A = this chain, B = another copy of it.
């Protein structure tokens, strides 16, 4: 992701104020300020920042352009990479500026914390267990045997099915569905409309059509996982569909039954993962990519956008295309493709010329 083109924030409550020196300490960054110490009251983009704001300089491409913009920015200071030399504004430097940005955003825009307790319009079955510090929002449903941990926040109209379990400090956005028997760990975030625990697509063909194979397994999701809006994760046929700690999943991703996904993976929007796929730790699946199922993707591998994983992928490999190839090969092929129409012509000419040659070279023998 990137933050150029940032506009001023519309954060609801007035953010706290802090002098630049104190802010640098709180964010644990390196102050480069030539003695000035403005009061910082907010954070905004280079172009939208006002005189009370700190802004942000990314280390991503386009940095040069943004350094120029800083000269005309109204911002009081800038969060910047340790690497860049002179800047026209007092700065707080970080080896990873996005870390500084993350801390500053959390400071100036602390996450909204709804009051604990069960909203009067929510339905919580008397056989469910809800920690007193949890927040159950309006029109939420929590069925029998469900177990909601400490500091969990269920926003409005969330559904938690029979026997489902949610770990401490996890947050479900409005209308998330966690279906019967499924489990989510601690400090995870699930965005609106996501479905966790729908039936796997399991049928067997018979003369008259297809017979459903009951899907009796569950989905188990680890700690510090983030799941995007309208994602669907199917329960296992038997056993569990598993998502490891720290994995982040973007919107509209489909994860089929019995997939086992490791830790700290990144799965970008609209990816489709077929049944029983095994994805090791630290794998990245770029947007709109997919897998054929029953394949294994090795630790740290990267599947490029639109790639289709048609076979096992080695650890650390960077692959793309359909069928799957090393990304460098796919790029060579894509480049060569643009020359294909001319190549067809060239080969036709070569044939003609060679036919002519044969005639020519055969004539001497005639005389």
Contacts and interface: CB of A to CB of B under 8 A. Distances in A.
Nearest to A258: B5
Given A251-B201, A288-B272, A305-B308, A216 B256 contact: no
B163 A139 contact: no
Contacts of A306: 290, 308, 322
A198 B10 contact: no
Nearest to A310: B305
B209 A199 contact: no
A85 to B, nearest CB: 23
A156 interface: yes
Nearest to A213: B102
Interface string A177-196: 10111000000010111010
A173 to B, nearest CB: 7
A195 B217 CA distance: 25
Interface stretch (A17-25, A32-40, A70-78, A229-237): A229-237
A354 interface: yes
A269 B2 contact: no
B333 A105 contact: no
A149 interface: no
Contacts of A238: 3, 6-9, 43-45, 105
A105 B214 contact: yes
A204 B94 CA distance: 13
A210 B266 contact: yes
B226 A229 contact: no
A228 B45 contact: no
Interface residues of A, number: 142
B228 A251 contact: no
Interface in A250-277: 250-252, 254, 256-258, 260, 263-264, 266, 268-270, 272, 274-276
B341 A351 contact: no
A328 B137 CA distance: 54
Contact of A344 (B162, B251, B269, B336): B336
Contacts of A181: 10, 12
A66 interface: no
Contacts of A138: 123, 141
The winner among A228, A332, A335 for most chain B CB atoms within 10 A is A228
A99 B208 CA distance: 13
A346 to B, nearest CB: 6
User: Top 8 nearest A-B pairs by Cβ distance?
Assistant: A7-B239, A98-B204, A198-B229, A209-B246, A105-B214, A229-B232, A141-B156, A209-B264
Interface of A: 1-12, 43-45, 48, 62, 96, 98-99, 101-102, 105-106, 109, 111-112, 119, 121, 123, 137-139, 141, 143, 145, 155-157, 159, 161-163, 173-175, 177, 179-181, 189, 191-193, 195, 198-204, 206, 208-214, 216-218, 224, 226, 228-230, 232, 234, 236-240, 245-246, 248, 250-252, 254, 256-258, 260, 263-264, 266, 268-270, 272, 274-276, 287-288, 290, 292-294, 305-306, 308, 322-323, 325, 329, 332-341, 343-344, 346-347, 350-351, 353-354, 357-358, 360-361, 364
28 contacts: A3-B213, A9-B216, A9-B239, A12-B162, A99-B211, A105-B238, A109-B216, A119-B123, A123-B156, A173-B179, A177-B193, A189-B212, A192-B195, A193-B232, A195-B229, A199-B226, A203-B266, A229-B234, A254-B269, A274-B287, A288-B290, A290-B306, A306-B322, A337-B337, A339-B344, A340-B340, A357-B357, A361-B361
